[in-house]
């Protein structure tokens, strides 16, 4: 699983506390050939102004570029479409200004084909030796296929099927533990091992996948919200923006204008 060594990498970067961002990059750049060999993870470092200073080839390719150089010195706002980029940069600034840590955040990204792709995103601030935030390091790992060889897979497959069939209704953890025949703690642990998601993330994923399909139509957004199991439009919009970086309306505009690339 690529995610674990990558998480260890950016934690070590956070703890290294270099004299400057340039000093940190001098060491990390030596690892770039190895980072380039990881096809299922977009890896990047940004400076205190949220500008790219390092990225692996996976991210470069998903930005529609052939080389790293055109990406350097630019923010997500400058790289991605106008209706999407500001949301990505806003997330970066929360990390840079507030020291916020994003850990295992489920995010829906769009690729050039307009097909949704799910990632688990991690972002952490980088500090110098005086404790000042000098940048951030981020990793977006493509969500892996279910581990169908796990002993608990059959029980959890029933949970997954229930979520897919009933995502438009309220779903409680108690309901899911009854289906699986295990405790809440076991359900949380096994879902993470088999599906790489918590049960709550599995519900969000099912709802947002359906929302993606409905937003490709002309169905009013208030009706999309109700069809996906949200009690009101505002709750849907908040959850949608948290998982995608932009509002349902912005998402609809992006998908009907020819597709967008994965953010970072």
pLDDT at 259 over 50: no
Neighbour count for residue 20 (Cβ, 10 Å): 12
Going edge to edge, which strands form the sheet with 133-142? 52-55, 41-47, 133-142, 116-127, 102-110
Rank 103-107, 123-127, 143-147, 222-226 by mean pLDDT and report only the highest. Answer: 222-226
**Domain topology for 153-195+197-255:** Arc Repressor Mutant, subunit A (1.10.10)
Domain(s) of CATH 1.10.10.60: residues in the chain? 153-195+197-255
Neighbour count for residue 141 (Cβ, 10 Å): 23
HSE on the CB side for 103, CA within 13 Å? Answer: 8
Instruction: State the maximum Cα–Cα separation within the chain, in Å, rounded to a whole number.
Output: 54
Percent of the chain with pLDDT over 70: 86
Q: At the fourth CATH level, which superfamily is domain 3-142?
A: PAS domain (3.30.450.20)
Neighbour count for residue 132 (Cβ, 10 Å): 10
Please classify residue 91 by burial: count the beta carbons closer than 10 Å to its beta carbon, then call 0-12 exposed, 13-18 middle and 19+ buried. buried
Q: What is the pLDDT of residue 243?
A: 83
pLDDT digits (tens, 9 = 90+) for 3-47: 555 556 666 666 668 888 998 888 888 888 888 888 889 999 999
HSE on the CB side for 117, CA within 13 Å? Answer: 21
pLDDT digits (tens, 9 = 90+) for 159-199: 999 999 999 999 999 999 999 999 999 999 999 999 999 99
Q: What is the pLDDT of residue 83?
A: 58
Domain(s) of CATH 3.30.450.20: residues in the chain? 3-142
pLDDT at 2 over 60: no
Q: Which helix (H) or strand (E) holds 119?
A: strand 116-127
Mean pLDDT of the region 109-124: 73
């Amino acid at each position: 699983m690529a995610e674990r060594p990558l998480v260890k990498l950016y934690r070590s970067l956070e703890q290294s506390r270099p004299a400057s961002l340039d000093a940190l990059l001098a060491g990390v750049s030596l690892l770039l050939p190895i980072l380039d060999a990881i096809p299922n993870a977009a890896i990047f470092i940004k400076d205190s102004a949220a500008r790219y200073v390092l990225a692996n080839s996976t991210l470069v390719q998903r930005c529609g570029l052939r080389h790293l150089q055109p990406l350097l010195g630019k923010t997500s706002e400058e790289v991605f479409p106008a209706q999407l980029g500001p949301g990505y940069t806003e997330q970066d600034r929360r990390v840079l200004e507030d020291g916020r840590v994003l850990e295992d955040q489920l995010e829906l990204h769009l690729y050039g084909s307009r097909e949704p792709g799910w990632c688990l995103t991690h972002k952490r601030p980088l500090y110098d030796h005086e404790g000042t935030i000098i940048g951030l390091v981020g990793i977006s790992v493509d969500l892996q296929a279910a581990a169908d060889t796990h002993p608990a897979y059959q029980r959890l497959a029933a949970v997954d099927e229930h979520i897919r069939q009933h995502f438009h209704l309220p779903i409680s953890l108690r309901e899911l533990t009854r289906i699986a025949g295990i405790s809440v703690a076991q359900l949380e642990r096994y879902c993470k091992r088999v599906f790489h998601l918590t049960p709550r993330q599995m519900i969000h994923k099912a709802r947002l996948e359906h929302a993606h399909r409905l937003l490709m139509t002309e169905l009013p957004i208030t009706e999309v919200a109700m069809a996906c199991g949200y009690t009101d439009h505002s709750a849907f919009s908040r959850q949608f923006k948290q998982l995608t970086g932009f509002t349902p309306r912005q998402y609809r505009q992006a998908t009907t204008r020819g597709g967008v690339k994965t953010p970072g």
